[in-house]
Amino acid sequence: MRFDLTDLRLFLCVVEAGSITHGAEQANLALPSASARLRGMEEVAGVTLLDRGRRGVTPTPAGSALAHHARLVLQQIDRMRGELGEFAGALRGRIRILANTAAMAEFLPEALGPWLAAHPQVDIDLRERQSSDIVAAIAGGHADIGIVSDAVDHGGLVTLPFAVDRMVVVTAPGGPFAGRGQVGFAETLDHGFVGLATGSALQDYLSGHAAASGRQLAFRIRMRGFDGICRMVAAGVGIGIVPEAAVRRLAPTVRVEAIRLSDRWATRQLLLCLRDRDGLPAPARALVQALTA
């Protein structure tokens, strides 16, 4: 069987995305080229690797076996590049990071920007996931570094402190809850929300807490990011729930009032989680050191 590294990386992207279209995008391949490569892999293997359905694709037993070995091969390639880079006096490689919504939007850009600029031969594959999914992915070796809430069970993973994430209710000046020091999440459910787009890890997290109380969030509109939420809220559209860090960042340009949530789950310690710090490729070890400095 002759699979090249592009084939293996594409196959993993497709399996993890559950979609050939999205997997091709993540692998930076055109859809026709990706489809042809996948068909070629199945022809060479002599077995069906993907079950194709109306809602996406799932790996067959043979496909799951291939994904397992592809992951090991690509991890070893990353380690090889990192070790050779150390001999050359420069870090080289690709780091796979999974992060929850708050970390990805508010804390990582400032932390990763200078580090990436200082290490031009290192690339980062950064994806958003819910904390519980991140823990499972790190434990399964699907990524190098995870950033999760301390509210989830981390199992036997190594954890290191990263940041404190406080969720606040945002309202227009003079709007619902204005002037109050704090408010309970259950009380906010009587109001219309400006929320994040479907599929956002944070929005799923909030919807889960609403469902636990037997309620649903009533969305007036959904936006792509915290900036959009705060601008809609400032216009009087509804209320929103965002990280306190986003409110501070937007304070010079967007006028909203922030009220802290009194619920214990609304203040979260964000943690780096790893399988084995010493077993990480050299670039990932260096990044962990920078993120926890």
The pLDDT assigned to 200 comes to 86
Strands annotated E in the chain: 50-53, 56-59, 93-99, 122-128, 145-149, 158-171, 182-183, 192-196, 218-223, 240-243, 257-261, 267-274
pLDDT of residue 87: 64
- Measured CA to CA, the distance from residue 122 to residue 91 in angstroms comes to 7
Alpha-carbon torsion (184, 186, 191, 193), positive or negative = positive
Position 289 scores a pLDDT of: 93
Question: Helices 282-291 & 61-87, crossing angle to 10 degrees?
Answer: 80
Which pLDDT belongs to residue 80? Answer: 80
Give the C-alpha separation, 284 to 170, whole Å. Answer: 36
Give pLDDT, residue 222: 96
- The percent of residues in the chain predicted with pLDDT above 70, rounded, is 97
pLDDT digits (tens, 9 = 90+) for 169-224: 999 999 999 999 999 999 999 999 999 988 888 898 999 999 998 999 999 999 99
Which residues fall within 8 angstroms of residue 192, CB to CB, at 6 or more apart?
Answer: 218, 219, 220, 237, 238, 239
> Which residues does 125 contact at the CB level (< 8 Å), separation at least 6?
94, 95, 96, 97
- Counting as low any pLDDT under 50, the low residues of the chain are none
Q: What confidence tens digit (pLDDT) does each residue in 73-86 have? A: 887 887 787 677 66
Q: Are the C-beta atoms of residues 230 and 247 closer than 8 Å to each other?
A: yes
What is the model's pTM?
A: 0.72
**248 burial level (CB within 10 Å; 0-12, 13-18, 19+):** exposed
* Whole-number pLDDT of residue 226: 95
For residue 201, the model assigns a pLDDT of 84
CB 220 within 8 A of CB 176: no
pLDDT at 124: 93
Helical pair 31-45 and 61-87, crossing angle rounded to 10 deg: 110
SS3 content of the chain, % helix, strand, coil (to 5): 45, 25, 30
Alpha-carbon gap, residue 71 to 165, rounded angstroms: 32
| Domains with residue ranges and CATH for the chain | 1-89 (1.10.10.10), 164-267 (3.40.190.290)
Please state the separation of Cα 172 from the chain's center in Å: 29
Q: What is the b/e burial string over 19-39, where b = at least 16 CB atoms within 10 angstroms of the residue's CB?
A: bbeebbebbebeeeebeebbe
